[in-house]
Structure formats: structure tokens, C-alpha cells
Amino acid sequence: MLQKMMFVLALVLAPLAGLAAERGSADEAAAMVERVVTLFEAQGIEAVVAAVDDPSNTAFRDRDLYVIVGELGGDLVAHGANPALVGKNLDGMKDSNGVMVGVELQKTAREDGAGWVDYVWPNPATKKIESKSTRVVRLGDSHYAGVGIYKD
């Protein structure tokens, strides 16, 4: 009887383990954004934007992890998952909880140089609104880059 229950439990929980494996971790997000910093320091913002915009570049997109690059003035210049947002000013964009996402990303990059920003956002993999935490870093005097993890 116990073996039968364990078997049923394993069948029920096995798909959940796969979901966890499909999500990027905070460490992976931080490592990805550090790769952006390395590229920025070596080749500049144009190379970063080109790399982030390249859908085949797995250094900057992996499972549900992707890079965004913005100007500290508010405009998004690259988005690894949703190119339709490129050129949009994020200053007025807020999540369903009222967090001014663009403002908080810029503020953290500008004032702290690097940090984490928490908000809710559509997950391109699940198409659901989920809790998200983005590691954001400043790139020189005028830009920032971020990579977020979905936590739901």
C-alpha cells in the first residue's frame, strides 16, 4: 500500500520538478547580467544591444531568463523577450501592484550601481502575471541592464 501511494505521489510531483528546472535562478540571472557588464566594458553599448537583440545568442537568453537594456532617461533600447517594447519609455509603466517598474530599475542602477527590484510581470514562458525580481546594474553614465527571475 505504501509503495502504491509513493508511486502515485511520484507521478503527481514529477511534472512540478520539471517546472522548477525550467526556471532560471537568482545566481544564473546575476551571472547573465555580469556577462552583459563584461561585454559592455569590452565593446560598448552598441555591442550589448546587438547581442541582446540576437535571438540565437544563448549567452543572453536561457529558459525564462532574458536581458533588458535601458537608458537611465527611461527608454528601453533592447529586450531579449519582447522586442515590441524597444523604444518605449518605461517611466510610466507600473505593475498591477502599483510599482513603477521602469523608475525603480533606473533608480536602483543610478543610485546603487546594482541591486534587485521586485514587481509582478508577464512571464513569456507561461503567459501569466508572476512575481519577478530583477538584478539590475548600471552600464556607464547612461544605461542599465537587467535580468529577472520569475518566482511563482
Tell me the pTM.
Answer: 0.83
- The chain-wide mean pLDDT, for the chain, equals 87
The predicted-structure confidence for 107-150, as pLDDT tens digits, reads as follows 999 999 999 999 998 887 788 999 999 999 999 999 999 999 99
Q: What are the CA-CA distances from residue 9 to residues 24, 43, 56, 77, 141 (Å)?
A: 25, 51, 38, 47, 54
Residue 53 has pLDDT above 60, yes or no: yes
Residue with cell string 529586450: 79
Residue 37 has pLDDT above 80, yes or no: yes
> Which domains can be identified in the chain, with CATH numbers?
2-150 (3.30.450.20)
Amino acid making up residue 131: S
**Segment 4-15 mean pLDDT:** 34
How many other β-carbons are positioned within 10 Å of the β-carbon of residue 26?
Answer: 14
Residue 6 has pLDDT above 90, yes or no: no
How many other β-carbons are positioned within 10 Å of the β-carbon of residue 29?
Answer: 23
Residue 51 has pLDDT above 70, yes or no: yes
pLDDT value of position 152: 76
